[in-house]
Amino acid sequence: MTRRRKAEEGRVALINAGLVPLVAGPAHRNLTLVEEAFGVDITAQGGDILIHGDDPVSIQHAHEALQALIEKAEAGGALSLPDVRSAITFVRAGTRARSGALALPGRRADIKPRTPTQAIYLDALMGGEFDLVFGVGPAGTGKTFLAVAVGVAMLLEGRVSRVVVTRPAVEAGERLGFLPGDLEEKVDPYLQPIWDAFKMLLGAAQLERRKAAGEIEVAPLAFMRGRTLSDAFVIVDEAQNTTRMQMKMLLTRLGEGSRMAVNGDPSQIDLPRAAESGLPHALRILRRVEGMKTVHFSAEDVVRHPLVGRIVAAYERDSDGPTPERAEKPVLSQVSFAAETQVDSDGWAGVFGSDIANEVQNIVTAVAGFFEPSVQSVAVLLTDDARVQALNAQWRQQDKPTNVLSFPAAESLSDISLAGEIGLGDIALAYETCAREAAEQGKSLKHHATHLLVHGLLHLLGYDHEADDDAAEMEGLEREILASLGIADPYQTHD
């Protein structure tokens, strides 16, 4: 098939022309994925790969994705479809996304994150800054596997003396006495995904040896009470099915030299009384506790069959409409911040697409999920530099455009009753300034605008950045909210 030659052209040169078939993939399937992702045409000629497109930014993104594939091929690695999708995902997240790897002794291939959120999660677990890390999001996003991989790495490196795994044994509570077999046999069916991960990382023989030596331990929640887990890496899986008291009991088991990964999905609570779930409660009350970090996964982080991600996204969209079965679920999205969006600059349609109001509402809802349930409203004006300059001059006495302006509806939200809908305030974004900053910082304009909208909303909610401590708190919350939207740390810098 002859394709229309688009206006702009980019060229990716391979040092070894023999790598072209590997990078292109069978029937050029890898190139096709990159084409579809960025709206470009790609052809392979000799030792070059040519990119044609109408948009220089799209060409650059395709170039970056292909360059990542070339580097992997030059290092001797095979290229799979998940590798291609991962390269595309990191490019979409912006040039600041990290993609570090976890090396395991005795394993030929490193464990590499496939999405920016996985990279954030892996860094949080591996680094020394956080001893308690919550991984929150749908199944299939790699939370359990990455937690097990970090636990195994720390065990093999001698940083901990054992790995302890636990989860609610059955969805309706701890009813192990009615199950046949000893303790391990009773719990094993519910921990099969974790055992599969251990077996993949260690091999069956080494796994059995370490289990026999007590270095890898399984313990249902009912048997954790009264223990102190020192010098251990602890994994709590399916944490949404713990009660508040169970969650408190688990978190207070942490001893000297230990680290804990708590994974779960607040939208999949199976307790008889969903309001008793300990996961949303812990996420809310521990948000500002030093030494704790929450990483939010989304449908974009699903690393199973691509269809699974689309299925998860469909269910997430459907969850916006209440049903009797979900009425008592204390998911974070119960908070309702209604957004009224006005657009008077044509440039924004190219940023958020045709359904701008829905895109803005999704961002506002993500922010709402980090706060106590209430009903509030916010007005968002997507405009241009001239309009923002006029507003800035009128209300701030600064006759110049800026990226975002926030206008609180009241001096203090604490004096307002939450019984009815509250006018939280107004936010205005200037297109030309936002676009210029995104280009200068090498960011996606959509991601940059999303960050500024989150930033403006937090100002309306009383956050500020005048003092260093206040700035650190505000920026930390921005990172968590943006991570829940699949956006990399906007404050991350590289030398």
Between 206 and 473, residue with greater pLDDT:
206
Strongest mean pLDDT among 58-72, 127-141, 174-188: 127-141
Cα 361 to chain center, whole Å? 18
For residues 274 and 151, is the Cβ–Cβ distance under 8 A? Answer: no
| DSSP assignment letter at 443 | -
Token code pair at residue 448: 């940059």
Q: Tell me what the mean pLDDT of segment 59-67 comes to.
A: 83
For residues 110 and 102, is the Cβ–Cβ distance under 8 A? Answer: yes
Q: What is the pLDDT of residue 411?
A: 33
Q: Is 35 helix (H, G, I), strand (E, B) or coil?
A: helix
Token code pair at residue 480: 């968590």
For the cut 90, the answer to whether the pLDDT of residue 322 exceeds it is: no
Please write the tens of the pLDDT for every residue from 4-45. Answer: 445 556 666 665 767 778 888 888 888 888 888 888 888 877
Side by side, the strands of the sheet bearing 259-264 are: 216-218, 162-166, 232-236, 259-264, 132-136, 292-296
Q: What is the pLDDT of residue 403?
A: 93
Q: Tell me what the mean pLDDT of segment 306-322 comes to.
A: 58
Q: What is the pLDDT of residue 1?
A: 35
Average pLDDT over the chain reads 77
Please write the tens of the pLDDT for every residue from 43-58. Answer: 877 777 888 888 888 8
For residues 378 and 340, is the Cβ–Cβ distance under 8 A? Answer: yes
| DSSP assignment letter at 151 | H
For the cut 60, the answer to whether the pLDDT of residue 208 exceeds it is: yes
The Cα 195–Cα 210 span in angstroms is 12
Between 64 and 261, residue with greater pLDDT:
261
Predicted confidence band at 327 (pLDDT cuts at 50, 70, 90)?
very low
Q: What is the pLDDT of residue 105?
A: 60
Helix (H) or strand (E) holding 385: helix 385-396
Residue type at position 339: A
Q: What is the DSSP string of 322-358?
A: --GGGTT---GGGSEEEEEEEE--GGGHHHH-S-HHH
Cβ atoms within 10 Å of 102's Cβ, excluding its own: 18
Q: What is the pLDDT of residue 433?
A: 94
Q: What is the pLDDT of residue 268?
A: 83
Percent of the residues in the chain that have a pLDDT greater than 90, as a whole number: 21
Entry pTM = 0.56
Q: Residue 320: exposed, middle, or buried by beta-carbon count in 10 A (0-12, 13-18, 19+)?
A: exposed
Least trusted range by pLDDT, from 135-149, 216-230, 308-322, 419-433: 308-322
The Cα 201–Cα 148 span in angstroms is 9
Dihedral of alpha carbons 20, 21, 24, 27, sign: positive
Q: Tell me what the mean pLDDT of segment 241-265 comes to.
A: 91
Between 92 and 405, residue with greater pLDDT:
405
- 63 assigned to a ligand binding site: no
For the cut 50, the answer to whether the pLDDT of residue 420 exceeds it is: no
- Domains of the chain in start order, with CATH, are 8-93 (3.30.1370.10), 116-301 (3.40.50.300), 335-484 (3.40.390.30)
Token code pair at residue 213: 């030596």
Q: What is the pLDDT of residue 320?
A: 46
Place of tokens 């677990």: 125
For the cut 50, the answer to whether the pLDDT of residue 494 exceeds it is: no
For residues 450 and 351, is the Cβ–Cβ distance under 8 A? Answer: no
The Cα 272–Cα 114 span in angstroms is 35
Between 223 and 489, residue with greater pLDDT:
489
Residue type at position 433: T
Q: What is the pLDDT of residue 430?
A: 93
Q: What is the pLDDT of residue 324?
A: 36
- 281 assigned to a ligand binding site: no
Please write the tens of the pLDDT for every residue from 367-402. Answer: 887 775 555 678 899 999 999 999 888 888 889 999
Between 187 and 132, residue with greater pLDDT:
132
Between 475 and 180, residue with greater pLDDT:
475
Q: What is the pLDDT of residue 2?
A: 38
Side by side, the strands of the sheet bearing 422-430 are: 336-343, 375-383, 422-430, 404-408
The Cα 170–Cα 114 span in angstroms is 31
